[in-house]
Structure 1
Amino acid sequence: MSRVRSDLVPDDLWERVAPLLPPAPERRRRYTGRLRVPDRTALAGVLYVLRTGVAWRDVPEETVGCSGVTAWRRLRDWTEAGVWPRLHAALLSELRRAVLLDLDDSAVDGSHVRALKGWNHVGPSPVDRARPGSKHHLIVDRHGTLLAVTLTGGNRHDVTQLLPLPDAVPPIRGLRGRPRRRPRRLYADRGYDFDKYRRLLWKRGIKPVIARRGVAHGSGLGKVRWVVERAFAHLHWFHRLRIRWEIRDDIHEASPLGCALICWQRLSRQARARALPQ
């Protein structure tokens, strides 16, 4: 494996991804076509595009090991098989087992992204002169770990995702007892200030801590909510997610892969810290 591919798919990441991938189709004995590109090489192509943001046709095959078309097809198959949500849930369980996850407090917010090709979940963005856009909606824990992401059109109000976001959090295991799914408290800014949604959150056993509109700034919620802004910076560090280039929304919604990579990086930092001499 070349240096770039080994950097893109380290051994500890591959050990977590490989068991979740669907089995490769059987190859007929008399088939004389090309050999199937290994899954690890195709995953390197996917991560190369995710991090650099280049077009699929511009993936350097001599460097990555496969063409961009092959990487895209493998990404399509793995997305349809639900690989990325399972990987994200498994890494969240590892974080909870390592006591790196605080599910008592959570925060939500939304962020606009340009959508250059349109299609589903695209609308006129009110912050970009009505150009076509989409929105990423995040829910994070107290430390800023991404718990779930949803995608809507750029003209959808943030409050429409206040209930779907907690519902999108996967069952998080890692400790004895029932898996956790919902936080105890949910922090949000003034854009979510609707009493109707406060009542709905209370019915779900979640305490809403939402800033009031028309009240002077200085509520103190910024001390808790700033982690969701940092989470957006981490997610949009993947250039392919910063601007929506994909026509198919399910391919762009491979953002759980970005969430999983952020969780894996946090686990890797903890492992390196433990390996350092005291």
Structure 2
Amino acid sequence: MRRHELTDAEWELLAPLIPRAATGRPRVSDRQVINGMVYKIRTGISWRDLPERYGPWKTVYTRFRRYALDGVFARALQQVQAEADAAGDIDWLVQIDSTIVRAHQHAAATGRKGEPPAGRTGDHALGRSRGGLTTKIHLACDGRGRPLAILLTPGQRHDSICARPLLERIHVPRTGVGRPRCRPDQVIADKAYSSRGFRAYLRKRGIAHTIPEKTDQRRHRHNRGRHGGRPPAFDRHLYRRRNVVERCFNRLKGFRGIATRYEKTATSYEAAVNLASFLLWARSV
């Protein structure tokens, strides 16, 4: 096994989920091709620059696109989460946050002929800001800093808008009988998620939360006097654990292909993030 390649244990977890062709001519080994994908995401090199030991680069890229469109890596991530949940290894003290990723000029896929304008459907999660093209990764991780759900949006999208759809992406299947686990025990988030609507949504689902109140919200409540209501509960000691999600982002951005976006489509970039997340789980179980 070379550097940036799957270990035997990681391959044993992933191998049963890789689609296999029933007919046709012999193809390049699945493990060889997956190793090429991992190498590409880890180093951030161009597909054309893949070492020859992984086979033709077109084969690796074509299979990666096929797996991305089919959701292979998303299912692999759910499978490893399900096995961890069955073993009682998931800490359901969930933290949510987001990070900005700079898009390389080769990732500029917006504005193509026949596609909707940027900002609408088909924007490929690319947005413009002062720094240029950016993508925002919204992440929900468990108490041990492992990704539970991922959501991609353009870089200018505010965190509070994406909080609800992000939590609704948590979907951990059961290995036996029963519905998937979708509800955290508690959610920790920073001030960007402090809104009455989001707090009401969490209360409706029966999810405890630790979110600091914004200064202007506190001032507005004080100005209203007794009509302003009681301040939201806040556990300062528990809030100190929010750095777990920051460490999770640091591990994800250890993959150069995640820290800088080189993929043109949101589907491919999300598949790369799912593959990196799967590796984080595989190395912790």
Shorter-chain TM-score tier: 0.7 to 0.9
Give the aligned partner of residue 52 of structure 1: 43
TM-score by length of 1: 0.83
Distance 1:225 1:69, change over 3 A: same
Shift of 1:169: 1.2
Structure 1: how far apart are the matches of 2:242 and 2:283?
22
Name the stretch that deviates more: 77-86 or 223-232. 77-86
Q: Counterpart of 1:248 in structure 2: which amino acid?
A: T
State the match for 1:274 in structure 2.
none
Unaligned runs of 5+ in 1: 29-34, 268-278
1:273 maps to what in 2? none
Matched, 1:93 2:87: no
Q: Secondary structure of 2:125's partner? A: coil
Distance 1:220 1:69 in 2: 52
- The equivalent of 1:108 in structure 2 is 96
Matched, 1:77 2:38: no
Aligned to 2:281: 263
Taking the aligned partners of 2:239 and 2:132, their CA distance within structure 1 comes to: 30
Q: Which residue of 1 aligns with 2:29?
A: 38
* Alignment map for 1:110-125 (pairs within 5 Å): 110-116=98-104, 117-119=107-109, 120-125=124-129
1:275 counterpart residue number:
none
Give 1:124 shift: 2.0
Partner of 1:4, secondary structure, is coil
Q: Which has the higher contact order (CA 8 A, sep 6+)?
A: 2
1:208 maps to 209
**Contact (CA 8 Å) 2:188, 2:239: kept in 1 or not?**
no
> Per the alignment, in what secondary structure is the counterpart of residue 2 of structure 2?
helix
SS of the aligned residue for 1:168 comes to coil
**Cα RMSD, aligned residues only:** 2.2
TM-score by length of 2: 0.81
Amino acid at match of 2:45: V
The answer to whether the 8 A contact 1:148-1:256 is kept is no
State how far apart, in whole Å, the 2-side matches of 1:95 and 1:183 are: 15
Counterpart CA distance in 2 for 1:23 and 1:53 is 27
Q: What's the offset of the Cα at 1:190?
A: 0.5
Q: What amino acid sits opposite 2:99 in the alignment?
A: S
The CA distance in 1 between the partners of 2:77 and 2:37, in whole Å, is 16
Q: Which whole-Å CA distance do the structure 1 matches of 2:251 and 2:63 have between them?
A: 25
* Alignment correspondent of 1:276: none
In terms of mean alpha carbon deviation, does 250-259 or 116-125 score higher?
116-125
Q: Which moved more, 1:93-102 or 1:224-233?
A: 93-102
Measure the CA separation in 2 of the matches of 1:235 and 1:175.
30
Secondary structure at the counterpart of residue 253 of structure 1:
helix
Instruction: Determine if the alignment matches structure 1 residue 146 to structure 2 residue 147.
Output: yes
User: Structure 1 segments of 4 or more deviating over 6 A?
Assistant: none
Q: Extract unaligned runs of 5+ from structure 2.
A: 110-123, 219-234
How many residues were matched structurally? 251
Residues 106 and 187 in structure 1, CA contact (< 8 A), matched pair in contact too: yes
Rounded to whole Å, the distance in 2 between the matches of 1:53 and 1:130 is 20
Question: Does the CA-based 8 Å contact 1:22-1:81 persist in structure 2?
Answer: no
| Conserved 8 A contact 1:45-1:67 | no
Q: How many angstroms apart in 2 are the aligned matches of 1:118 and 1:198?
A: 36
* C-alpha separation in 2, matches of 1:160 and 1:69: 38
